[in-house]
Amino acid sequence: MQSKRKLILNKFLIDGGKNRLMSDRSEKYLINGEKDKWEVVIGLEVHAQVTSNSKLFSGSSTTFGAEPNTQVSLVDSAFPGMLPVINEYCVQQAVKTGLGLNAKINPYSVFDRKNYFYADLPQGYQISQYKNPIVGEGEITLDLPNGSKKVGIERLHLEQDAGKSIHDLDPSNTFVDLNRSGVALMEIVSKPDLRSPDEVNAYVKKLRSIMRYLGTCDGNMQEGSLRADVNVSVRKEGDTKLGTRCEIKNVNSIKFMQMAIIYESKRQVELLESGKSIDQETRLFDIKKNETRSMRSKEDAHDYRYFPDPDLLPLNLDKKLIEKIRKDLPELPDEKKERFIKEHSLTPYEANVLVSEKEISNYFEEVIKSSDKKLTKNWIMGDLFASLNEKNISISESPVTAKKMAELIDSISSGVISGRTAKEVFEIMKETGEDPKKIIESKGLQQKSDPKELEKIIDKILSDNKDKAEQYKSGKDKLFGFFVGQVMKESGGKANPQLVNEILKKKLK
Ligand code: ADP
Ligand code: MG
191 lines ligand 1 (CB under 6 A): yes
Please indicate, yes or no, if residue 1 is contained in any of the structural domains.
Answer: no
DSSP letter assigned to residue 76: T
Between CA 283 and CA 264 the distance in angstroms is 9
133 lines ligand 1 (CB under 6 A): no
For ligand 1, the distance from its centroid to the CA atom of residue 101, given in whole angstroms, is: 19
Which ligand lies nearest the alpha carbon of 154? 1
407 lines ligand 1 (CB under 6 A): no
C-alpha dihedral, 205 to 208 to 212 to 213, nearest 10°:
60
Strand ranges inside 397-482, DSSP E: none
Give helix 319-327 / helix 88-100 axis angle, nearest 10°: 60
Which ligand lies nearest the alpha carbon of 156? 1
194 lines ligand 1 (CB under 6 A): no
Is 277 strand, coil or helix? coil
Same domain, 471 and 355: no
Same domain, 435 and 461: no
How big is the chain by its Cα radius of gyration, in Å? 30
For ligand 1, the distance from its centroid to the CA atom of residue 192, given in whole angstroms, is: 7
45 lines ligand 1 (CB under 6 A): yes
Q: Which residues pair with 113 in a beta bridge?
A: 127, 307
Is 422 strand, coil or helix? helix
Please indicate, yes or no, if residue 2 is contained in any of the structural domains.
Answer: no
Burial of 95 (0-12, 13-18, 19+ CB in 10 A): buried
Q: Which of 274, 302, 325 is the last residue of a domain?
A: 325
pTM for this entry: 0.86
Q: Which of 273, 308, 325 is the last residue of a domain?
A: 325
Q: Which of 293, 325, 357 is the last residue of a domain?
A: 325
Same domain, 246 and 368: no
Taking residue 106's Cβ as centre, other Cβ atoms within 10 Å add up to: 21
Same domain, 340 and 483: no
Please indicate, yes or no, if residue 25 is contained in any of the structural domains.
Answer: yes
Among 507, 49, 130, 83, CA closest to 303: 130
Please indicate, yes or no, if residue 3 is contained in any of the structural domains.
Answer: no
Same domain, 499 and 412: no
Is 343 strand, coil or helix? helix
Based on the structure, what is the number of domains in the chain? Answer: 3
53 residue type, one letter: N
For ligand 1, the distance from its centroid to the CA atom of residue 253, given in whole angstroms, is: 19
Which atom of ligand 1 lies at the shortest distance from residue 244's CA?
23
Please indicate, yes or no, if residue 134 is contained in any of the structural domains.
Answer: yes
233 lines ligand 1 (CB under 6 A): yes
Same domain, 246 and 200: yes
Please indicate, yes or no, if residue 144 is contained in any of the structural domains.
Answer: yes
Please indicate, yes or no, if residue 4 is contained in any of the structural domains.
Answer: no
Render each residue's pLDDT in the chain as its tens digit; 509 residues: 333 333 333 333 333 333 333 444 457 899 999 889 999 999 999 999 999 999 999 999 999 999 999 999 999 999 999 999 999 999 999 999 999 999 999 999 999 999 999 999 999 999 999 999 999 999 999 999 888 999 999 999 999 999 999 999 999 999 999 999 999 999 999 999 999 999 999 999 999 999 999 999 999 999 999 999 999 999 999 999 999 999 999 999 999 999 999 999 999 999 999 999 999 999 999 999 999 999 877 777 788 999 999 999 999 999 999 999 999 999 999 999 999 999 999 999 999 999 999 999 999 999 999 999 999 999 999 999 999 999 999 999 999 999 999 999 999 998 899 898 999 999 999 999 999 999 999 988 888 888 898 999 999 999 999 999 999 989 898 899 999 999 988 988 888 888 899 999 999 88
For ligand 1, the distance from its centroid to the CA atom of residue 187, given in whole angstroms, is: 13
Between CA 50 and CA 105 the distance in angstroms is 17
Q: What are phi and psi of 231, to 5 degrees?
A: -95, 125
162 lines ligand 1 (CB under 6 A): no
Alpha carbon of residue 381 to chain centroid: 16
Same domain, 345 and 293: no
Segments forming the whole domain that contains residue 352? 331-442
Among 280, 306, 284, CA closest to 295: 284
CB–CB of 38/29 below 8 Å? Answer: no
